[in-house]
């Protein structure tokens, strides 16, 4: 049985491939999608960076909605949504061995011993390696 996290990860990979290529076969195995995303990061790093920026922005927005709602049920639901989105983005970044930390609301990326603060810089460095 496919877990919610696995399904979200697959959907995120498919969205990146669609942004870069315009199409994706729904029957593609996750391993093939991962390889395609790795290739896209080399040839079109801004596509992957843009998608991950959007994911981190959506996660921060979910947290802000919950934190400012004044309703504990809403806060719990939105915090879970934030965690789910962040987890999916972190799983994608793990393909390159990137470690994500959160000193605040937005992430910091550690790659090859360096701290990087934007996805654009991160994927420019990945594309050049």
CB 55 within 8 A of CB 61: no
> pLDDT band at residue 62, thresholds of 50, 70 and 90?
very high
Q: What is the mean pLDDT of residues 81-108?
A: 95
Number of residues that make up the chain: 129
Q: What is the per-residue pLDDT for 94?
A: 95
Q: What does the domain layout of the chain look like in residue ranges? A: 4-128
Q: What is the pTM of this model?
A: 0.90
């Amino acid at each position: 049985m496919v877990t919610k996290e696995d399904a979200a990860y697959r959907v995120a990979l498919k969205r990146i491939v669609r942004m870069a290529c315009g199409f994706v076969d729904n029957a593609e195995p996750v391993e093939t999608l991962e390889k395609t995303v790795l290739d896209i990061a080399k040839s079109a790093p801004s596509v992957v960076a843009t998608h991950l920026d959007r994911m981190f922005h959506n996660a921060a927005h979910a947290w802000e909605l919950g934190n400012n709602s004044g309703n504990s049920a809403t806060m719990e639901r939105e915090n879970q949504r934030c965690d789910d989105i962040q987890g999916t983005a972190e799983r994608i970044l793990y393909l390159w061995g990137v470690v994500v930390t959160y000193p605040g609301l937005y992430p910091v990326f550690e790659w090859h011993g360096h701290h990087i603060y934007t996805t654009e810089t991160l994927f420019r460095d990945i594309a050049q390696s």
